[in-house]
Each structure stands twice: as structure tokens, then as C-alpha cells.
Structure 1
Amino acid sequence: MLSGNLFVLGAAESAGHFNGGDSIFQLVVFLILLALLKKFAWGPLMGIMKQREDHIAGEINAAEGSRVEAQKLLEEQRSLLKEARTEAQSLIENAKKQGDVQREEIIAIARTEAERVKEAAKLEIDQQKEKAMAAIREQVASLSVLIASKVIEKELNTQDQDQLINEYIKEAGERR
């Protein structure tokens, strides 16, 4: 127990006494430690931090460049889309105009064809009318000759019959 008392007594003695050499030694060791930390830890750490900062700045710049390029592409796409819509609208309008022109042409052709058919029908009617009139004239002439021969009670020969028919046709044509 005596040795334990001596230790406490020595510690009490040194606690009250200031030792400048120990303080200077500790200060020098601290400064050396700071210099070593600065050279081997702080410098590389700051270099890594600087590299990281440069890398992040580069990424930000690249992202900004990509954003600007994306904005530019978006504007180009909008412009192309607007152009395509305008072109599509123009094509639609042209198709409508073309359709209207074709419709008018078809109507004009149909009217012309209808007029031609109508004229052909009129011509056919006139021809059929003439044929019917000729047939009626022949029948009337035949009947007239028959009636006349019955009335006269004599037989007409072919030459007399043809002469009577031609006279009758001539008279029927003049009355018309």
C-alpha cells in the first residue's frame, strides 16, 4: 500500500507542476502529425474531392447539354409534326378538289351520254314512225285497191295496182 501511496503522491506533485518540455514535445509531435496528415491524407482527400467536384460539374454540364439537345429535338419534332399536319391537310384539300373535278367531269359525261341516248332514241322513234307510216300506207293502199276492186268488181292487174298505190301514197304524202 505504500507503493500505491507513492504513486498518488507523485501524481499529485506533477499535477501541480508545469512541465514545459513535455508540452513543447507534444506540440512538435502534433505539428508533425498535422504535416503528415496534410501531405498523406488531406492532400489526396482534397484531390479526390476536387476530382469528384469536377466529375459532378462535368455530369451537370453534360446533362444540361443533353437537356438543350433534347429541347432542340423536341422543337424539331413539333415543327415536323406541324409540317406533316399541314401537308396532310393540303393533301386532303387537293383530294377533295380532285374529287369535285372528277365528279363534275362524270356528271358532264353522263349528261352528254344521256343526251346522246335521248337523240338516238328520238332518231329510232322517228325511224320506227316512218316504218309504221310506210306500213300503214301500204296497208291503206292495199285496202284501197281491194275496196276499189270490189266496188268496180273487176280485177286489177299488177301494173294498175302499182299505179293506184303510188297515186294514193302521193296524195297521202301531200296531205301530211
Structure 2
Amino acid sequence: MNTFVLGSAMANGDVLFTLVSFIILLFLVRKVAFGPLMNMMKQREQHIAGEIEAAEKNNAETKKLLEEQRAAVKQSRVEAQELIERAKKQADEQKDGILVAAKAEAESIKEAAVKEIQREKDQAIAALQAQVAVLSVQIASKVIQKELKEEDQASLIRDYIKEVGEVR
């Protein structure tokens, strides 16, 4: 029984020594390993939190830029539509101006042509009157030169009318 008590006392001493050694080792590990490990974990946590915050900030900026781009595209479309409308209006105004100018020019040409026709008509009438006067004088002089019978006078008039037709 002595051996059992002695072994038991040794076992208690070993257990006590092991327990004290474990507590010292735990204290050393905590002091040497857990402190830096916890600091490293904290730094890693802060780094990850910073990365998440930066990503959220970038995401917000990207959304803001996207909205600005959409607004700019919408504004550009509105300005382009206004520009097209102004160009159409200006083209219509130019078309109307060209039509008015063309009508005025056509009217001017028509008036000039009517005046030219009237002038030529007046000249032709004057020339015809001159020829009629000359022919009348010629007919009268021939009638006077010879006394004609009615048949001869009709024949003479027909001949002069033929001559007048050929002269034209």
C-alpha cells in the first residue's frame, strides 16, 4: 500500500508540475503568440473593413457617374433633337424663300416677255400698215394708169394680195 500512496503522491506532484507547466506555457503563448496573432487578426480585420468601405465608396461613385452619364446622354439627345428641329425649320424657311424668289423671277420674266411680244406686235402692225399704204398707193397708181374693167380690177387686186402674201 505504501507504493500506491507513494505513486499517488508522485502522480500528484507530476500533475501539479504539469498543471503549473501548462499554465506557464499558456501564459507564455498568450504573451508571445496570441498578442501578435490578435494584432495581426485585428489589422487584417481593419484592412478588410477598409477594402469593403473603399469598394462601397467606389460603387457609390460609379452609380453617381453612371447617373451623370445618363443625364448627359439624355441632355445630348434633347439638344440633338432641338438642333434637328431648328435645321428643319431653317430648311423650310429657305425653301419658302426660294419659292417666293422663283415666283417673283418667273413673274418678272413673264412681264418682260409680254412687253416684248407687245413691242414686236406693234412693230409688225406698223410694218404691215406701211406695206398696206405702199400697196394701196401702188394699186391706186396702176388703177389710175389704166382704166380697167371690173374683171381686170378683181384680177389686179388678187395679184397684189398674192404679192403681199409672198412678201410676208
**Identity percentage of aligned residues:** 57
Unpaired runs of 5+ residues, structure 2, are: 147-168
1:38 aligns with 2:30: yes
Unpaired runs of 5+ residues, structure 1, are: 1-11, 155-176
CA distance in structure 1 between the aligned counterparts of 2:67 and 2:121, rounded to whole angstroms = 79
Q: With the length of structure 1 as denominator, give the TM-score of the two structures.
A: 0.77
Give the RMSD, CA atoms, in angstroms: 1.9
1:17 aligns with 2:8: yes
Q: With the length of structure 2 as denominator, give the TM-score of the two structures.
A: 0.80
Q: Which residue of 1 aligns with 2:136?
A: 144
- Tell me the alpha carbon deviations over residues 53-82 of structure 1, each in whole angstroms, 9 at most, x when there is no partner: 000000000000000000000000000000
- Tell me the alpha carbon deviations over residues 23-53 of structure 1, each in whole angstroms, 9 at most, x when there is no partner: 1111111011111111111111111110000
The amino acid across from 1:151 in the alignment is: V
Higher RCO by CA contacts (8 Å cutoff, separation 6 or greater) = 1
| Equivalent residue pairs, number | 143
1:55 aligns with 2:47: yes
Structure 1 position 13, deviation (Å): 5.9
Structure 1 position 135, deviation (Å): 1.0
Structure 1 position 17, deviation (Å): 2.9
The amino acid across from 1:50 in the alignment is: K
